[in-house]
Structure 1
Amino acid sequence: MRFRQLGNSDLHVSEIALGSWLTYGVSVDREATRDCVQSAFELGINFFDTANMYGRGAAESLLGELLSPYKRDQYILATKVYFPMSDTDQGLSRAQIHKQIDASLQRLRTDYVDLYQCHRFDYDTPLEETMRAMSEVVDAGKARYIGFSEWSPRRIKSANAIEHVKRFVSSQPQYSMLYRKPEPEVFPLCKKLGIGQIVWSPLAQGVLTGKYTPNERPPSNSRAAARGIRRFTEDRVLESVQRLRPIAERLSLSMSQLALAWVLKQECVSSAIIGATHPQQIHQNVAAVGVELDDATLREIDDVLDAVVRR
């Protein structure tokens, strides 16, 4: 495993992080989750990402149980706040941030998280109120650092302009070979501000593993079927993805390893979040760490995907 500094923080996170969206506490049982967590530690993963809304607290609760036997300084733990937890609990108001961090810590069985993230931007709460509340969480020792997910450049700049508050150290955008929207504005801005990237969906919801083929409906139990990710499962996209296979084979890589190595080529990317339902997936994905793609290969990938990339 290799590690990268997360923005201007003193956190050094594994290049591969284990996430829990749609998996742990939701569709993956306790025993399989335990095996995945154990394998992650064995392979050097020290970064675990979750959110209060994943399974309405179920993911945090299960991770809290399974991480509790490990020493707290052995892992870096991130969670998020914003999405509804009940009919009345939602958003980034001061009251909600304080209420939700306490609930998350209780479920996670820890006194603090290393990273507390605004899961989305809250248009119904003044930004200054949100930033001051997030800062209070840090001052109270309940989080070491703060971050955000899927904020626009304008909102990032506005947050950074507020005086006497904690600064963001992380951004969590969607990013993959097929989805490159953060590249032109978010990445350069965050680099300037000392904000590292923790990217989600680096395999484009599994599409970049090559397991979905053109002119075939995704299996009923697949993530693609469950989420209806039409933008990635159009035939023209799947046809382009299949043309990546010879590139991966030439490099003795799986399709997922090629996709992860491509994401990690970005110096601003601190970590790529993977989902896993069994340990074999983690073993395979971790093998992407340290893979160097040369310029010719990167150009070849761009040529193959150019017509279907979302920019």
Structure 2
Amino acid sequence: MECRPLGASGLKVSRTGLGTMSWGTDTDAEEAANQLVAFVDAGGTLVDTADVYGDGESERILGSLLADLVPREDIVLATKAAARRADGPFGGGASRGSLLLALDESLRRLGVDHIDLWQVHAWDPGVPLDETLSALEHAVTSGKVRYLGVSNYAGWQLATAACGLRTTRLVSTQTEYSLLERGAEAELVPAAAHHGVGLLPWAPLGRGVLTGKYRGGTPADSRGASVTYGGYVDRHRTERAARIVEAVATAAEGLGTSPLAVALAWVRDRPGVAAPVVGARDAAQLAGSLAAEELTLPDEIRGALDDVSDPTAGADHAPTEETR
């Protein structure tokens, strides 16, 4: 798998990342192991988790796999903090105390002595930004973190944070970005480019809708049928989305590939993108994403998909802020 620099930094990551949001909920430890092995065998390096995924179980599973199955040095380990909410004075959010406690707990669950990419999971309006940034800088100078990123920040929030760091810099920002969700292009993408911050799109397959699996209904074994993720998927089950999905399916048929591969290749090769982060229920699903590595979209197909998904052409929903 091709590797790319993460923003204006010396850190290189595989141009597809492995997301672990479902680990510990819909994906058990055995299936997580199958996914990780398949991903690393395909040349993947970037593995992304968070302290809130499965209430910490995702990190625990990943930590056990790094101890017993895949060498720690073979992956770029990314996790997030600030979204957790719990009782007590340091129960969550982006305060200095909460962040540094969350970091120590993530290190413990993962069984490692440092995080390669530590990300603030969401903007916290209740905490002065200077306080949040001081915790990030301390995490780096302490040796517990190598690189810093943010997630779910608006363009102005990213720019403000990038300018506020004094002893280090942001190298990445995670945002929802796909053919169904192009809102980031208005402000976040230009802000990231200006500040040398790489894009790590989450939900690059439109929360699974772009695979075409929902064209005829809701498969019983899909996330759309899940109690946990049904509402998450429904956000992109709209008339506009259906038109885009049909265009993706037509392109896939013409190229002799899958709608999944077309949708993933489209976002992977957008300006500023370092690596879309893909999640999968099992290794068989992940194989479809890994197969997209071989696909480069012809200019005429890319242009047609740009046109049909143009967010200024009568989008039928308004963007919302979310923490995934």
Q: Please classify the TM superposition score into its range, dividing by the shorter chain length.
A: over 0.9
1:39 match: 38
% of aligned pairs identical? 36
2:76 paired residue number: 76
Mapped to 2, the partners of 1:85 and 1:107 lie a distance apart of 17
Report the residue type matching 1:9 in the other structure: S
Alignment of 1:287-306 (within 5 A): 287-306=291-310
Matched positions, count: 308
Aligned to 1:152: 154
Q: Does 2:234 align with 1:230?
A: yes
| Alignment root-mean-square deviation, CA | 1.8
TM-score normalised by length of structure 1: 0.93
1:1-311 pair list within 5 angstroms: 1-21=1-21, 23-69=22-68, 70-88=70-88, 89-162=91-164, 164-213=166-215, 216=217, 218-219=218-219, 221-225=221-225, 226-228=229-231, 229-306=233-310
Residue by residue over 1:54-80, the C-alpha shift from the partner in whole angstroms, topping out at 9 and shown as x without a partner, is 011010000110122333221100000
Letter in 2 for 1:146: L
CA distance change for structure 1 residues 308 and 109 in 2, over 3 Å: closer, same or farther?
farther
CA contact (8 A) 1:115 1:145 kept: yes
Alpha-carbon shift at residue 9 of structure 1 (Å): 2.1
Please state whether the residue corresponding to 1:80 is helix, strand or coil: strand
Structure 1: 5+ residue stretches without partners: none
Task: Write the distance in 1 (CA, Å) between the matches of 2:309 and 2:165.
Answer: 43
- Aligned-partner Cα distance in 2 for 1:308–1:281: 32
Q: For 2:182, what is the secondary structure of its paired residue?
A: coil
> SS in structure 2 opposite 1:289?
helix
**Residues 239 and 153 from structure 1, CA distance in 2 versus in 1: closer, same or farther, beyond 3 angstroms?**
closer
Q: How many angstroms apart in 2 are the aligned matches of 1:243 and 1:189?
A: 30
TM normalised by structure 2 equals 0.90
Over residues 98-120 of structure 1, what are the superposed CA-to-partner deviations in whole Å (9 max), with x where a residue is unaligned?
A: 10000000100100010000000
Q: 1:42 to 1:118 in 2, by over 3 A?
A: same
Q: Cα gap change, 1:165/1:61 in structure 2, threshold over 3 Å: closer, same or farther? A: same
Structure 1 Cα separation of the partners of residues 84 and 295 of structure 2: 39
- In structure 2, how many angstroms separate the alpha carbons of the residues matched to 1:14 and 1:276? 17
Unaligned runs of 5+ in 2: 320-324
Q: Which amino acid aligns with 1:227?
A: G
Return the letter of the residue paired with 2:273: V
Structure 2: distance between partners of 1:281 and 1:159: 36
Does the CA-based 8 Å contact 1:243-1:304 persist in structure 2?
A: yes
The 8 Å contact of residues 177 and 204 in structure 2, kept in 1 or not, is answered as: yes
Supply the distance in 2 between the matched residues of 1:160 and 1:15 (Cα, whole angstroms): 23
Is the CA contact 2:154–2:188 (under 8 Å) kept in the aligned structure 1?
yes
